[in-house]
């Protein structure tokens, strides 16, 4: 059904509803009028009937009056008691007068007072009665007067008796015809009234019949509309079931928003699951958005919805500025962690063809799969792009440092994998696994950064993000590490790709550049094979082809013989550290100079460890110690910071490695504040701890004074890894600092081989 059909259907429905209402009101009005007329007719009929009854009573009055007068006459003639007849005659007079008054009232109520025939008959009857009533008033005994007197001959009429006898005789002689005419007038009035009563009865019966007919029609109409209402209710119930089925089945969250931004009571079941709200009905939309987005986004969303209510706004055009078109939300899951989902909101005005409507239809969909797929496609594209970048990087790198890195990285990754899949389900064991893997990966990440292997660094950084999320959980389980194991496998595959590319690059180099001959005629490819720093050979160009310093970042080795062996080749350790200094300085926006002393004295067994420690220390010094150039200039320091690394034999028993920067030093207050926030110490301990004990906190796993996480800082892993390496080799580590001047780390390592001695940081 298209929109025009729906509009036509709604119009017909409204017309039918109005027609039903009008017909019902019309019939009800007719019935009401008939009932009112019937009630009025019934009242008039009752009054007319009462008037007819009164006329019937008047018809008997002349005879009764004549009879009473005759009794009084005979009683006076026989000198018998006539007081009762006199009183009866008086009562007849009063009753007749009262009957005439009642008759007028009933005729008035019956609406017959203005009837000509009735009026004439009544006036004639009243006139005769008034004449008779005046004559009858003489037939009464005066107060205290006696009608008889006693004489020797017997009782005789007194003067009063003679007067009454004379009045009665005169009435009987003169008013008898008048009484008869009065009876005729009464009969005539009764006949007229009887005809009027019959007419009123006929009218009343007609009204009752009409009322019954209208009532029957109204009842039939009500039954018909009741049947139609039942049919409509059945259709509405079916439609409601269909709507419920749709709302229960649809995967999107459907809801309505009124003009006050409150959600309606009709919504799809998916809405509760998508928004994680048990009962969204009646909530203000701002309450819905509050746990999902920040305040700025929620405010922008409410303004956007306000635009949709305007009449002249094009919905499709402003949809492009919908701040909720794709949002990232985080929900807690059953395991105590967080689940990231992506939701998309869209809105449309709900309105007919002739109105603006009262609701907005909101649709929210879970687009997590779409977003992840898009990101996966971007990753694939980035992976493709990074392949070319990686090949260029490998062409610029010397084979020996890269081979050394690939070997150590593979060992570290397989060791991390073995740690994660090893036994141990207690929380302490799981935490140890987490910290151990963090240390291994952070070390590999630092060395990869020193070799400018950006793709490798990014992958490890992503794994560290996942590890950091696990570190923030209150409870861990073995299943939580499964995604990490999968990513480690992917990283091993990437490592294999790098090795394969390295082999192809080496093949190309060997084909394009045949072995050169040294000045003395010997093959230079085997020269300096016994170099004791990194292993088999040093390669004069190891990392020498890496990009030099640019912009504000620079690094250089100290002048003189430090870091340069007697054969004139650059020390690979120095080259790695110099390149790392450049990269980290560039990433952190710092100008840094590297100074090294005595690294050529590093024993072979400590070379890998010294390399790992110095990589972590350089990143730590630049990220946490060296200030920006502007801040250094304000403090009276050179714009370029300095990191110094020195290695020497401290005594006959120990070597000493020193890493020092001229940055702002360690902040006692900052360390205490961060330790309190991480629950490493209690407030009571914060007050009583000595300064040395506070500085030892920086070696705790997960501790970092940086509030932001980057590729080089913020994880709290670097110094933990350094401390762990030192302990594994039986050494000791110490730190000294001066606010605003320097931070110095000293590592003491036994000259005799020892891999099991335990020391305290």
258 closest CA partner among 346, 347, 360, 345: 360
CA 171, CA 175: separation in Å to the nearest integer?
5
Q: Which residues pair with 346 in a beta bridge?
A: 363
Residue 470 CB partners (closer than 8 Å, separation 6+): 337, 434, 476, 480, 481, 484
Q: Is residue 228 part of a domain?
A: no
Q: Is residue 236 part of a domain?
A: no
Give SS3 for 728: helix
Q: Which alpha helices (H) appear in 137-175, and where do they start and end?
A: 159-174
HSE (side-chain half, CA atoms, 13 Å) at 620? 29
Q: Is residue 542 part of a domain?
A: no
Q: What is the pLDDT of residues 305-359, one digit of tens each?
A: 888 888 777 777 777 888 888 898 888 877 667 888 899 998 888 765 444 557 8
Residue 119 burial (CB < 10 Å; 0-12/13-18/19+)?
Answer: middle
- Where in the sequence is the domain holding 644, given as residue range(s)? 550-750
CATH number at residue 481: 1.20.120.160
Report CA Rg, the chain: 60
Query: d(Cα 549, Cα 587) in Å, to the nearest integer?
Result: 12
Which helix or strand (DSSP H or E) is residue 725 part of?
A: helix 718-728
Domain assignment present for residue 7? The answer is: no
Q: Are 217 and 264 members of one domain?
A: no
Tokens of 757: 């001695």
Q: 368, 395, 413: which is the final residue of a domain? A: 368
What string of DSSP letters covers 597-609?
ESGGG--HHHHHH
pLDDT above 70: residue 383: no
Name the least confident of 3-12, 361-370, 619-628. 3-12
192 in the same domain as 254: no
CB distance 615 to 717 below 8 Å: no
Instruction: Determine how many CB atoms are found less than 10 A away from the CB of residue 121.
Output: 21
Residue 572 located in a structural domain: yes
CATH of the domain at 37: 1.20.120
Residue 733 · residue 746 · CB < 8 Å: yes
- Residue 142: predicted pLDDT: 64
pLDDT of residue 186: 84
Q: Which residue has the higher pLDDT, 13 or 51?
A: 51
Of 176-190, 399-413, 479-493, the poorest mean pLDDT is in: 399-413
- Check pLDDT > 70 for residue 5: no
Range name among 143-157, 539-553, 570-584, 737-751 with the lowest pLDDT average: 539-553
Domain co-membership, 353 together with 400:
no
pLDDT in tens, 217-263: 888 888 888 888 888 888 888 888 888 888 778 888 898 988 888 99
Among 604, 603, 611, smallest CA distance to 543 is for 611
- Give the count of beta carbons closer than 10 Å to the beta carbon of residue 197: 21
Between strands 592-597 and 641-649, the pairing is parallel
| Residue 184 half-sphere exposure toward CB, CA atoms < 13 A | 7
Q: Give CA 635 to chain center in angstroms.
A: 52
Residues 572 and 533: beta-carbon distance below 8 Å: yes
Q: What is the mean pLDDT of residues 688-713?
A: 72
pTM for the predicted model, two decimal places: 0.41
Is residue 81 helix, strand or coil? coil
What pLDDT does residue 153 have? 73
The rounded distance, in Å, linking the Cα atoms of 731 and 654 is 9
Is 230 contained in some domain?
no
Taking the C-alpha atoms of residue 25 and residue 218, their distance in angstroms, rounded to an integer, is: 10
Q: What is the pLDDT of residues 357-372, one digit of tens each?
A: 578 889 999 898 888 8
DSSP annotation of 525 = G
**Which of residues 686 and 400 earns the better pLDDT score?**
686
**631: helix, coil or strand?**
helix
Same domain, 427 and 326: no
For residue 472, what are the contacts with CB-CB under 8 A and spacing of at least 6?
none
pLDDT digits (tens, 9 = 90+) for 251-306: 888 989 888 889 988 888 888 888 888 888 889 998 888 888 889 999 999 988 88
Residues 202 and 327 in one domain: no
324 and 194 in a common domain: no
Residues of the chain with pLDDT > 70: what percent?
81
pLDDT of residue 444: 77
Domain final residue, candidates 334, 368, 402: 368
Q: Which of 266-275, 641-650, 711-720 has the lowest mean pLDDT?
A: 711-720
Q: What is the mean pLDDT of the chain?
A: 77
DSSP tag of 334: T
| pLDDT value for 508 | 63
Question: Does residue 658 surpass a pLDDT of 90?
Answer: yes
The structural domain count of the chain equals: 4
Say what the pLDDT of residue 712 is.
58
Tell me, yes or no, whether 342 and 289 share the same domain.
Answer: yes
Q: Which residue has the higher pLDDT, 187 or 421?
A: 187
Is 184 a domain residue? yes
713: CATH? 3.30.565.10
What value does the mean pLDDT take over residues 752-757?
52
pLDDT in tens, 468-492: 777 777 777 777 778 888 888 877 8
- Provide the strand spans (E) within 547-695: 592-597, 641-649, 654-661
Least confident span in 97-106, 398-407, 560-569: 560-569
Same domain membership, residue 182 and residue 77: yes
Q: 18 with 152, same domain?
A: yes
Last residue in a domain, options 318, 334, 368: 368
Ranking 370-374, 500-504, 528-532, 615-619 by mean pLDDT, the lowest is 528-532
Q: Check residue 567 and give its pLDDT.
A: 41
Q: Please choose, from the candidates 525, 460, 529, the residue with its C-alpha nearest in 3D space to the C-alpha of residue 490.
A: 460
In tens, the pLDDT along 540-599 reads 233 333 333 333 333 333 333 344 444 445 577 788 888 888 888 888 888 899 999 988
Tell me the pLDDT tens digit for each residue of 68-100. 888 888 888 888 888 888 888 888 888 888 888
Q: Do 399 and 502 contact (CB within 8 A), yes or no?
A: yes
pLDDT at 336: 67
pLDDT at 418 over 70: yes
Q: Is 548 helix (H, G, I), strand (E, B) or coil?
A: coil
Rounded to whole angstroms, the Cα distance separating 116 from 122 reads 10
Q: Are residues 364 and 450 in the same domain?
A: no
Pair (315, 196) in one structural domain? no
pLDDT of residue 422 exceeding 60, the answer is yes
Same domain, 199 and 277: no
pLDDT at 352: 54
Q: What is the number of other CB atoms lying within 10 angstroms of the CB of residue 135?
A: 14
pLDDT at 393 over 70: no
- Please tell me the distance from the alpha carbon of residue 208 to that of residue 187, in angstroms, as a whole number: 31
For residue 552, the model assigns a pLDDT of: 35
93 inside domain: yes
Which candidate, 723, 721, 705, places its Cα nearest to that of 713? 705
Residue 459: pLDDT band with limits 50, 70, 90: confident
CATH code of 319's domain: 3.30.450.20
**Residue 572, strand partner residues:** none
SS3 254: strand
Sign of CA dihedral 574, 580, 584, 585: positive
- pLDDT reported for residue 395: 58
| Statement: residue 516 has pLDDT above 50 | no
């Amino acid at each position: 059904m298209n929109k025009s059909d729906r509009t036509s259907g709604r119009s017909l429905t409204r017309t039918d509803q109005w027609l039903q209402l009008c017909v019902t009101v019309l019939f009800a009005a007719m019935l009401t009028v008939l009932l009112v007329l019937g009630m009025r007719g019934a009242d008039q009929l009752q009054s007319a009937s009462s008037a007819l009854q009164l006329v019937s009573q008047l018809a008997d009055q002349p005879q009764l009056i004549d009879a009473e007068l005759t009794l009084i006459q005979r009683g006076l003639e026989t000198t018998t008691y006539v007081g009762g007849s006199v009183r009866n005659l008086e009562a007849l007079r009063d009753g007749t007068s009262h009957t005439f008054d009642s008759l007028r009232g009933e005729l008035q109520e019956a609406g017959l007072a203005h009837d000509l025939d009735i009026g004439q008959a009544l006036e004639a009857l009243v006139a005769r009665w008034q004449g008779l009533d005046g004559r009858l008033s003489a037939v009464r005994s005066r107060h205290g007067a006696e009608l008889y007197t006693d004489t020797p001959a017997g009782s005789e009429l007194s003067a009063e008796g003679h007067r009454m006898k004379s009045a009665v005789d005169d009435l009987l002689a003169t008013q008898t015809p008048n009484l008869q005419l009065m009876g005729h007038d009464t009969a005539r009035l009764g006949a007229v009234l009887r005809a009027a009563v019959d007419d009123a009865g006929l009218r009343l019966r007609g009204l009752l019949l009409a009322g019954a007919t209208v009532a029957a029609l109204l009842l039939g109409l009500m039954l018909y509309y009741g049947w139609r209402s039942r049919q409509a209710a059945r259709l509405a119930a079916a439609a409601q079931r269909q709507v419920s089925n749709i709302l229960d089945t649809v995967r999107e969250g459907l809801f309505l928003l009124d003009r006050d931004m409150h959600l309606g009571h009709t919504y799809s079941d998916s809405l509760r699951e998508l928004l994680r709200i048990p009962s969204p009905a009646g909530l203000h939309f701002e309450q819905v958005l509050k746990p999902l987005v920040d305040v700025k986004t929620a405010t922008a969303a409410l303004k956007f919805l306000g635009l949709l209510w305007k009449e002249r706004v094009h919905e499709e055009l402003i949809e492009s500025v919908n701040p909720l078109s794709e949002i990232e939300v985080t929900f807690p899951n059953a395991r105590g962690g967080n689940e990231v989902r992506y939701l998309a909101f869209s809105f449309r005005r709900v309105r007919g063809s002739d109105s603006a409507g009262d609701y907005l239809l909101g649709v929210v969909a879970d687009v997590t799969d779409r977003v992840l797929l898009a990101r996966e496609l971007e990753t694939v594209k980035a992976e493709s792009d990074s392949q070319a970048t990686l090949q260029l990087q490998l062409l610029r790198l010397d084979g020996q440092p890269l081979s050394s890195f690939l070997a150590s990285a593979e060992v570290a990754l397989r060791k991390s994998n073995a740690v994660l899949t090893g036994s141990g389900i207690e929380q302490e064991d799981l935490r140890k696994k987490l910290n151990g893997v963090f240390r291994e990966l952070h070390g590999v990440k630092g060395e990869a950064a020193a070799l400018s292997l950006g793709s490798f660094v990014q992958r490890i950084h992503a794994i560290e993000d996942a590890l950091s999320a696990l570190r923030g959980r209150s409870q861990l389980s073995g299943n939580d590490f499964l995604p990490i194991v999968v990513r480690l496998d992917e990283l091993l595959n990437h490592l294999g790709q790098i090795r394969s590319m390295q082999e192809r690059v080496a093949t190309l180099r060997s084909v394009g550049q045949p072995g050169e001959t040294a000045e003395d005629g010997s093959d230079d490819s085997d020269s300096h094979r016994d170099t004791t720093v990194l292993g088999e050979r040093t390669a004069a160009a190891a990392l020498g082809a890496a990009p030099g310093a640019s912009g504000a970042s620079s690094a250089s080795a100290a002048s003189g013989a430090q870091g340069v062996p007697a054969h004139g080749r650059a020390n690979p350790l120095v080259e790695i550290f110099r390149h790392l200094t450049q990269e980290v300085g560039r990433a952190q926006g710092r100008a840094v100079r590297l100074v090294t002393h005595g690294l050529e004295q590093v024993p072979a067994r400590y070379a890998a460890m010294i390399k790992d420690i110095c990589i972590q220390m350089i990143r730590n010094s630049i990220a946490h110690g060296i200030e920006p150039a502007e801040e250094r200039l304000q403090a009276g320091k050179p714009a370029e910071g300095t990191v110094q690394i020195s290695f020497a034999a401290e005594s006959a028993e120990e070597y000493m490695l020193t890493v020092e920067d001229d940055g702002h030093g360690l902040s006692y207050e900052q360390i205490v504040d961060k330790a309190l926030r991480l629950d490493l110490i209690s407030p009571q301990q914060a007050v009583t701890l000595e300064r040395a004990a506070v500085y030892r906190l920086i070696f705790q796993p997960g501790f970092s004074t940086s509030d932001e996480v980057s590729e080089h800082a913020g994880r709290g892993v670097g110094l933990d890894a350094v401390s762990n390496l030192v302990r594994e080799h039986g050494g000791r580590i110490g730190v000294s600092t001066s606010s605003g001047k320097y931070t110095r780390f000293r590592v003491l390592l036994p000259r005799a081989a020892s891999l099991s001695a335990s020391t305290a940081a």
